[in-house]
Amino acid sequence: MTYRPLADEIRPQTLDEVVGQRHILGENGLLRRIIKGGNIPNLIFYGPSGTGKTTVANLIARRTNRPLHRLNATTASIADIKAIIGDIGTMLAPDGVLLYLDEIQYFNKKQQQSLLEFIENGKITLIASTTENPYFYVYNAVLSRSTVFEFKPIEAADVLPAVDRGIRLMAQRLEGEAVCEDGVREHIASACGGDVRKAMNAIELLMNSARRQDGKLLVTLEDARMIAQRSAMRYDREGDDHYDILSALQKSIRGSDPDAACHYLARLLEAGDLVSACRRLMVIACEDVGLAYPQVIPIVKACVDAANMLGLPEARIPLADAALVMATAPKSNSGESAIDAALADLRRGRTGDYPRHLQNIHADSAGQEREQGYLYPHAFPHHWVRQQYLPDTLVGTRYYEYGDNKTEQAARRYWQEIKGE
Residue 403 predicted with pLDDT over 90? yes
pLDDT confidence of 62, banded at 50, 70, 90? confident
Are 262 and 281 in contact, with CB atoms under 8 Å apart? no
pLDDT in tens, 5-27: 888 888 888 888 888 888 999 88
* Cβ–Cβ < 8 Å for 58, 88: no
Nearest by Cα to 125 from 72, 183, 49, 67: 67
Q: If you average pLDDT over residues 110-138, what whole number do you get?
A: 85
Task: Give the DSSP letter string of 138-184.
Answer: S-HHHHHTSEEEEPPPPPHHHHHHHHHHHHHHHHHHTTSEEEE-TTH
**271 touches 313 (CB < 8 A):** no
* CA R_g for the chain: 31
Q: What is the architecture of the domain spanning 240-327? A: Up-down Bundle (1.20)
Task: Indicate if the pLDDT at residue 2 is higher than 70.
Answer: no
- The domain locations on the chain are 21-150, 156-228, 240-327, 334-362+369-419
In the predicted model, is pLDDT for residue 53 greater than 60?
yes
Look at the domain 21-150 and name its fold.
Rossmann fold (3.40.50)
Q: What angle do CA 258, 263, 268 make, to 5 degrees?
A: 125
Q: Label residue 240 by pLDDT band (50, 70, 90).
A: low
Question: What's the rounded Cα separation, in Å, for the pair 378 and 385?
Answer: 9
Q: Grade residue 236 by pLDDT with cuts at 50, 70 and 90.
A: low
Beta strands 68-72 and 43-46 are: unpaired
DSSP bridge partners of 93: 88
Strands 97-102 and 68-72, bridge-based pairing: parallel
Helices (H), 229-365: 240-254, 258-270, 274-284, 296-310, 316-327, 334-347
Render 13-26 in DSSP notation, one character per residue: SSGGG--S-HHHHS
CA pair distance 296, 288, nearest whole angstrom:
11
Cβ neighbours, 10 Å, residue 372: 15
CA distance 247 to 169: 41
pLDDT category of residue 301 using cuts at 50, 70 and 90: very high
Domain 334-362+369-419 is in which class? mainly alpha
Report the distance separating Cα 37 and Cα 39, nearest Å: 6
Residue range 66-83: mean pLDDT, rounded: 84
Residue pair 215/176 in contact (Cβ under 8 Å)? The answer is: yes
From CA 414, how far away is CA 384, in angstroms rounded? 12
Closest CA to 99 of 111, 114, 115: 115
Q: Is the peptide bond before 377 cis (omega within 30 degrees of 0)?
A: no
Q: Looking at domain 156-228, does it have CATH number 1.10.8.60? A: yes
